[in-house]
Amino acid sequence: MSLVYPNGTRALDSIDLEIGKAEFVFLVGHSGTGKSSLLKLLYREVVPNSGEVYVDDVRVDTLRRSRVARLRRNIGVVFQDFRLLSDKTVWENVAFALQVTGARSADVKRQVPRVLDLVGLSHKSRMLPSELSGGEQQRTAIARALVNNPKIMLCDEPTGNLDPSNTTEIIELLQRINLKGTTVLVATHNQAVVDRMRRRVVRLENGRILHDDERGYYFRGLGQNPVLSG
Amino acid sequence: MDWGRIRFFLGEVGTNFTRNATMQITAIGTVAITVVLLGTFLFVRDTVAAFGQGILSKIEIAVYLKDDVDDKRAQAIGAQLARDERILGATYVPKREGLNQMRERLGSDFDTSLLTANPLPNAFRVRVRNPDDVPAVAASIEPIAGVAKVDFAADTVTKLLHAADVLARVGLGMIALLVLTAAIIIANTIRLTVFARRREIAIMQLVGATNMYIRMPFIAEGLVAGVVGAAVAIGLLAIARVELVPKIAAMLSFVPLQANEPQIALELLAVGAGVGLIASWVSVGRYLRV
């Protein structure tokens, strides 16, 4: 599968990747190697120029526009910059994701406390994003991504704006979510996290898969090096 | 009914409205101005139509009979005229009565004692049900045996009909332009709202809101702008109707000021709602790429 952007940038080149149900996968590589593009292909933000993309046995790249909404309800997406609505409280930000999919208010009242409890923010549900720490904001974003009970979580640099302790918090949260059976795909630059977790690591370089290791390290073969693993 | 859902939707529409209130007020104001002018136009048009109808309904066709037509033949012609469904009534005016009427009308300006004989023919005065039919009815009477001449205020009739037609066309053209202006302003307002809410829209798209769901609050926003604008205009027109029209009526006592106000109000409301709905629909389609 390949992706070329209209400006001629070859974002992804002959990618062949399969991720199983309930897997936890790190996507690593330099900036601009196509990590974000790969995630975008999965939630149908972009379509490949050649090849096929399947999510949960549904072919995504040829999906009709009207079906994209349904696909996205099965995918939770989390970004580096949180993308919360600044004029809405934590509760409202999470509830928003349900409300705009036409959920009944009874479901909203049941699901929002459940995910807020899961991310540990029940006590801050009435706060605005500006009153939260970076880690709390990201947990709110994760709660929002989770509230539709997605089968897949896509995280694009979820800890990129966070300090080490908040980073650990978020990664542990993602791990818990993964243990409940959700497939988690994390694009990251954070070597420490990747090396500590010892999960499947897919390294991209210039839009190609450089290597794909079960229980891998951020740098292949250098993981045990105490200096580099931080 | 799920009140939570309805409340959320109304909240979204409300948020749209308050996001760029000044633009929203401009949109409502433009719709209001347009609708006030449209309402005034409809009122004037109704009044002119009624006035014109009043004049036209008084127009008579004079049917002059040949001198050799006897009373019996005249009666037969009268019966024939009465059979024509377009004709409201035909009154027989014998030459003697015609002369009396002329004396009355002209008074001392005309000394009938100078006449050695009555120069007027026997005649029918024909009134037509629909003023538009006057020329056609006149033409159909002309070939009847015994009819010497058919006369009617041809010029007045055709000119009045023509003037009313031109007035309606010009008015409608102007209003079409105004409606277009209002539509463009509403469309622009929606575009600004879409821009102001692009973060929300992006998140809606991300979490799988359907296109229809994303669009609805924006379309509702345009609809509300149109309806509110029309309502404001109808309020202003109602005040004008109560305050101004009696004064105008007093000045122009010969013009019957009359219009079907409730119907006009409904039409105006429909125009406002229609403009808002169509403009926002088009705008959302263009600027909300989902």
What is the tens place of the pLDDT at every residue in A101-130? 888 989 999 999 999 999 999 999 999 999
Residues of A whose CB is below 8 A from B8: 99, 105
Residues of B whose CB is below 8 A from A101: 207-210, 213
Collect all residues with Cβ–Cβ distance below 8 Å to B10 and sequence separation of at least 6. Answer: none
Query: What is the arithmetic mean of pLDDT over A52-66?
Result: 90
pLDDT tens for each residue of A122-170: 999 999 999 999 999 999 999 999 999 999 999 999 999 999 999 999 9
pLDDT at position B254, please?
64
| B170 and B266 both lie in a single domain | yes
Tokens, residue A25: 């996968």
- In residues, how long is chain B? 290
Residues of B contacting chain A (CB within 8 angstroms): 2-5, 8, 199-200, 202-211, 213-214
User: Domains along chain A?
Assistant: 3-74+150-213 (3.40.50.300), 87-133+142-148 (no CATH)
Residues of A whose CB is below 8 A from B199: 83, 85
| B76 and B139 both lie in a single domain | yes
Among B110, B127, B152, the domain-final residue is B152
Residues of B whose CB is below 8 A from A145: 207
| B129 and B73 both lie in a single domain | yes
| Lowest mean pLDDT across B14-18, B103-107, B214-218 | B103-107
| Lowest mean pLDDT across A31-40, A64-73, B105-114, B238-247 | B105-114
Among B118, B133, B152, the domain-final residue is B152
pLDDT tens for each residue of B108-123: 666 767 777 777 788 8
| B206 and B123 both lie in a single domain | no
Q: Identify any residues that bridge with A213 across adjacent strands, giving them in sequence order.
A: A201
SS3 at position B278: helix
**Contact across the interface for B209 and A69, Cβ inside 8 Å:** yes
**Contact across the interface for A69 and B211, Cβ inside 8 Å:** yes
How many independent structural domains does chain B possess? Answer: 2
Average pLDDT taken over every residue of chain B: 82
| B201 and B87 both lie in a single domain | no
| B236 and B258 both lie in a single domain | yes
Neighbours of B92 (CB within 10 A): 17
Q: Which amino acid is at A213?
A: D
pLDDT at position A107, please?
92
| B140 and B168 both lie in a single domain | no
Query: What is the arithmetic mean of pLDDT over B92-103?
Result: 79
| B38 and B21 both lie in a single domain | yes
Tokens, residue B65: 């009979």
| Angle in degrees, CA A215, A216, A221, rounded to 5 | 135
Asked if residue B120 lies in contact with residue B154, where contact means CB atoms within 8 angstroms, the answer is: no
CA distance A174 to B162: 79
Dihedral angle at the C-alpha atoms of A5, A9, A10, A11, nearest 10 degrees? -70
* Residue spans of alpha helices (H) in chain A: 35-42, 65-73, 90-99, 105-119, 134-146, 164-179, 191-197
Taking the CA of residue A230 as centre, how many other CA atoms within 13 Å lie in the half-sphere pointing to its CB? 12
Q: How confident is the model at residue B1 (pLDDT cuts 50, 70, 90)?
A: low
User: Quick check: A222 pLDDT over 70?
Assistant: no
| Angle in degrees, CA A141, B200, A148, rounded to 5 | 45
pLDDT at position A204, please?
92
CA distance B149 to B140: 12
Among B103, B124, B152, the domain-final residue is B152
User: Quick check: A226 pLDDT over 50?
Assistant: no
Asked if residue B204 lies in contact with residue B12, where contact means CB atoms within 8 angstroms, the answer is: no
pLDDT at position A21, please?
93
pLDDT at position B109, please?
67
pLDDT at position B262, please?
84
pTM, two decimals, is 0.71
SS3 at position B62: strand
Query: What is the arithmetic mean of pLDDT over B163-171?
Result: 81
pLDDT at position A228, please?
46
**Contact across the interface for A105 and B206, Cβ inside 8 Å:** no
**Contact across the interface for A105 and B209, Cβ inside 8 Å:** no
| B226 and B116 both lie in a single domain | no
Task: Give the CATH number, domain containing residue B70.
Answer: 3.30.70.3040
**Contact across the interface for A100 and B213, Cβ inside 8 Å:** yes
pLDDT at position A71, please?
93
Query: What is the arithmetic mean of pLDDT over B9-28?
Result: 84
pLDDT at position B137, please?
84
Average pLDDT taken over every residue of chain A: 90
User: Quick check: A32 pLDDT over 60?
Assistant: yes
User: Quick check: B194 pLDDT over 70?
Assistant: yes
| B18 and B140 both lie in a single domain | no
| B100 and B48 both lie in a single domain | no
Range of the domain at B178: 3-54+158-287
pLDDT tens for each residue of B204-232: 889 888 888 888 888 998 899 999 999 99
Neighbours of B268 (CB within 10 A): 22
| B101 and B21 both lie in a single domain | no
